Structure 1
């Protein structure tokens, strides 16, 4: 089986590269996971039947064309296309529906999975407290406990305060692009310890169930 995984940045790709094999190991099968990070989210295309603009590099900029290419190459094979993005300040349900429509129009014969992290990917990391503490034993436990799962609260900033504690505010003030490297480092260090079965994030749980259903669909377990 093959997973084609489209993410909006490197840190998201690192998380999925670690957790996807764990999510399907119960099926005892070989899976090739191909992570395709992008340079940010990009913009929703005004006409998704058109080719992307030259030098476009965002996930949404390139998604329709990539879906059409996957449809041409992988339709009818044991391939699952996985699209994961942050909801930021927008409605996760609306983003999910727009992504689903985009997939249906551009890759109608492919099996696909959509994951929408509520606000940011860090919500999935914070959903596994044990993984955070395994990666960062000196983390601020009280800050983790105060976090309301999948809330709109400045999620990456919350994780920053959990890990960096007194040094967090200075890092938050610096912001992007410098913080991008830190986010990738946190994602890589935490994801290796994550257990998908105990994650407390509702949006992660929906994603996990969708992956499970897609694998069963391809393997014919729903026949």
Structure 2
């Protein structure tokens, strides 16, 4: 089975590069995949036939065109699209995404997976990995987090493990937020254990990928 995986930013790509082999096994044994990152999530276009500006590399803006292209490409067994819900209603968002895929002709076998509220929720889902990477993390901040809640997730993680917390990151401005998220993916990602992660949204990604593998035989 070959899977194309789309994610909205480069730190997400870095995290998935670590996690997917833990879920599916080593690359090429027997499954293969490619992970593509974009420069933001964007929004679903009103005109699904619009091509979007490929130079901007905004995921949802280009998704209809991407899915149609994958649907015409031999050798692609599935497309997995991983997105943050941010403050969207997950049920409504997923329905919109499925309607987008249904409107593509031809359409590939497409699996949408949504991190609630952000992919940083998956770090909270494995407390042992988080504390191994950051043993000085503020446990009082970690304890106040409710798993997969909409609570400014990355900011909450920063408040637990970054000197000065999220306020210091926001004060410094770009590119520090992106650099910090890359550091988290690099330090915490390799320590995450997929079967121990208590994040419901991560569990749906893990189980969805494994189901695709079973269906592929």
Q: TM-score, normalised by structure 1?
A: 0.88
> Whole-Å Cα distance in 2 between the matches of residues 173 and 127 of structure 1?
28
Offset of residue 175 of structure 1: 4.1
Is 1:111–1:214's contact at 8 Å kept on the other side of the alignment?
A: no
Name the one with the larger helix percent.
1
Q: Which residue does the alignment assign to 2:12?
A: 12
Is 1:56–1:62's contact at 8 Å kept on the other side of the alignment?
A: no
Offset of residue 79 of structure 1: 2.4
After superposition, the CA RMSD in angstroms is: 2.0
Offset of residue 108 of structure 1: 5.2
> Whole-Å Cα distance in 2 between the matches of residues 123 and 175 of structure 1?
22
Choose from 180, 188, 198 the match for 2:186. 188
Structure 1: 5+ residue runs without aligned partners?
A: none
Please identify runs of 4+ aligned residues in structure 1 that moved more than 6 A. Answer: none
Offset of residue 168 of structure 1: 4.1
Offset of residue 91 of structure 1: 0.5
62-71 or 160-169: bigger deviation: 160-169
Q: Which residue does the alignment assign to 2:41?
A: 41
Distance 1:107 1:193, change over 3 A: farther
Q: Which residue does the alignment assign to 1:63?
A: 63
Structure 2: 5+ residue runs without aligned partners?
A: none
Q: Which residue does the alignment assign to 2:96?
A: 98
> Whole-Å Cα distance in 1 between the matches of residues 79 and 4 of structure 2?
5
Q: TM-score, normalised by structure 2?
A: 0.91
Q: Which residue does the alignment assign to 2:158?
A: 160
Choose from 147, 150, 165 the match for 1:149. 147
